[in-house]
Structure 1
């Protein structure tokens, strides 16, 4: 018969728990020291490297101050079965969503896994007046045919472009029906959807120097709320996590959009010809980014670019000056991180600016949106594209100085 000393066993178990907690803390601190993550508030951190770059997560701690949980703030919709409305061909968002390693070519499978397997219909816009139900003849509502959830108010001529049409559009765009789908997902209850594919040829920035690989993607963003268009964006960008570094370059088209009308399908067919210039875009993109990567800049140069993008008036209030100082400090932090990886160059400066805009700059969410959804929507719609374009043009001037 074996006799167990419960006091000794308890002490041993506690020792093992403490050792595990120390290892978890050490591993977490090591990621900070390696520049993989950084603190942005006492309990919130941002990923700086890898597929999840830019993602924000919350660390919870127990009464002893030990890490006891990490929760990703993904901002994606949740399906009826409680799973995240996201399909991906590789792990992202801390492994959330439905992942098929290597991806799939099956549209039906992606529609199901991403939660996009519904259609959108329009129904009459009704209102109650003195006990009588009346119809607003010039307006209709868009609704999901699976749940009946209202998505938006639209005009009488509005014709939904269905989720499946987004997949078929991308197939026609690249001229292939064996396209491997990269990602697809929902935002705001299905009001906005995104679908992306990866183009086969990677883009290399400064092949003889930093040899930074940028993967080109083509993404479709569709809006069912009546507040946006069906859009296609050709860009070095991964919708679910990375910086949206799409810049206007010479002799290339990066964005195409069409309104939701009865003739939209015919117009979509014309997009293939328009977006055929995407190959020229990525060639030009690589050339311009390589020029930036080969241009060393001083911190003073970087601060001058910041001043051009966000000028500070001489009579600015103290509040405005404090906000400006915080912005400069945040940009300096990101620039230092980028400079350690690719050198103190105009390329690092550009990546610092895009990273700041996508993941750090204050973003005021709407009443029904979290901050993360607000950021995701801004990224998808290119809310900061003009600022990024201005930064790109300004930094290119330094390459010719």
Structure 2
């Protein structure tokens, strides 16, 4: 289910530093944010607490508790008795601890819905240079936490292609995939200390990703292969009109040929360009069900990172790699 942006004290709960991000949401900061600055700027300086649940007629609800924002009393969800909340400041502290020298800076942070889902996007210092070209990919860590019991605290490895600000989902179902998860149970402090291994996992992930990206950027598929690739990414629905699917595939073909950054000589016409046609479509062009520009951007962000858009990008990544390895 898509969320709209959360608010704190009447302000949209999002911040960013540097160039306007692809989602175009939030308060702009003049300098990279420390954890404390990002929490305040993004409106995430609230805590959650667990409270007993009762029905409308006053009957006590056993084995469940409500998760409530302490600043405004909003009920964010209902969870089991073993649920242990991870406060926003703890989540930022976790990412601070990943890089021991304190060099990590938050480029984007925010919340969705009533504040039940928060995210923190932090940039690692190095970049991927695709096939020794000017096509650069920044390395980010994306932390997501849900206060409604719907998901664990997660840290994803989230590359972003600089030239077009496409967020890439390089989740390979043949590998360990996207980062780590920490369940809201047991001794969270111990788990968080153990999870500092995330930096080593990120380095391994990005080293492997760089090699695969170069394979994609070295492969020039035929027009038949490109057509089959987009057909696999967006197949015709069974027993229904395929006009919408054809329209999307036509848009993907156009983005493959003329999308942002697709004219670089080292990139043009490659499987890497085909994959980025999908990421550009998901992040910038995919229709959303809202007439309000802010809500459309919010829904697109939620989908691109956590929902159907993220799954579509992961599917395209695997299909593009298969295409590049085909004879």
> Which TM class, normalised by the smaller chain length?
0.7 to 0.9
Q: Distance in 1 between matches of 2:307 and 2:203?
A: 21
In structure 2, C-alpha distance between the alignment counterparts of 1:110 and 1:205, rounded to whole Å:
31
**1:257 equivalenced with 2:178 (yes/no):** no
SS of the residue aligned with 2:55?
A: strand
- Would the alpha carbon gap of residues 278 and 253 (structure 1) be closer, same or farther in structure 2, given more than 3 Å must change? farther
Query: 1:166 offset after TM fit, Å?
Result: 0.9
**1:178–1:305 distance in 2 versus 1, CA, 3 Å:** closer
Q: 1:268 aligns with which of 177, 188, 192?
A: 192
SS of equivalent residue, structure 1 residue 347? helix
CA distance in 2 between counterparts of 1:123 and 1:326 reads: 49
Match of 1:311 in 2: 235
Work out which of the residue numbers 86, 111, 115 in structure 1 matches 2:39: 111
Give 1:252 deviation, angstroms.
5.5
Q: Residues 79-90 of structure 1: matches in 2 within 5 Å?
A: 79-80=8-9, 82-90=10-18
Render the CA deviation track for 1:197-245: whole Å, top value 9, x for unaligned: 11011111111xx33111100111111122122111112039xx94331
Q: What secondary structure sits across from 1:226 in the alignment?
A: coil
User: Which residue of the other structure, out of 24, 31, 35, is the alignment partner of 1:102?
Assistant: 31
Instruction: Report the equivalent of 1:223.
Output: 146
Give me the whole-angstrom Cα distance separating, in 2, the residues matched to 1:388 and 1:85: 26
1:331 corresponds in structure 2 to: 252
What SS does the aligned partner of 1:303 have? helix
Residue 190 of structure 1 pairs with residue 190 of structure 2: no
8 Å Cα contact 2:128/2:136 also seen in 1: yes
- 5+ residue gaps, structure 2, are none
Mark the CA change 1:91 to 1:75 in structure 2 (over 3 Å): closer, same or farther: farther
Q: CA deviation at 1:89?
A: 1.8
- Cα pair distance change 1:308/1:340, threshold 3 Å: same
- Is 1:170 matched with 2:95? yes
Change in 2 beyond 3 A, CA 1:179/1:388: closer
Aligned counterparts of 1:97 and 1:361: Cα–Cα separation in 2: 21
Q: How many residues align?
A: 313
Q: CA deviation at 1:382?
A: 5.1
The offset of 1:152, in angstroms, is: 0.9
- After superposing on structure 2, the runs of 4+ consecutive aligned residues of structure 1 that deviate more than 4 Å are 93-96, 249-253, 362-365
| Cα drift, residue 359 of structure 1 | 3.8
Higher gyration radius (CA): 1
Aligned equivalent of 1:213, options 123, 127, 136 = 136
Shift of 1:115: 0.3
Q: CA deviation at 1:347?
A: 0.9
Question: Per-residue displacement from partner, 1:258-291 (whole Å, max 9, x unpaired)?
Answer: 2212323322222222552211211121111112
* Alpha-carbon displacement from aligned partner over 1:121-165 (angstroms, at most 9, x marks no partner): 011111133xxx221021111111111111111112211100001
More displaced, 248-257 or 166-175? 248-257
Provide the secondary structure at the position in 2 that maps to 1:122: strand
For residues 95-130 of structure 1, the C-alpha deviation after alignment (integer angstroms, 9 at most, x for no partner) is 76332223132x32221111000001011111133x
Contact 1:221 1:380 in 2 (8 A): no
How far apart in 2 are the matches of 1:283 and 1:246? 15
In structure 2, distance between residues paired with 1:180 and 1:384: 26
**For 2:47 and 2:141, how far apart are their aligned partners in 1?**
23
Indicate the RMSD between aligned Cα atoms, in angstroms: 2.7
Q: 1:189, 1:242 → 2: CA distance?
A: 27
Q: How far apart are the structure 1 equivalents of 2:12 and 2:236?
A: 42
Tell me, yes or no, if structure 1 residue 378 matches structure 2 residue 303.
yes
Unaligned 5+ segments in structure 1 are 1-73
Quote the Cα distance in structure 2 between the aligned partners of 1:389 and 1:128: 43
CA distance, structure 1, for counterparts of residue 179 and residue 139 of structure 2: 14
**Higher relative contact order, chain-length normalized (CA < 8 Å, sep 6+):** 2
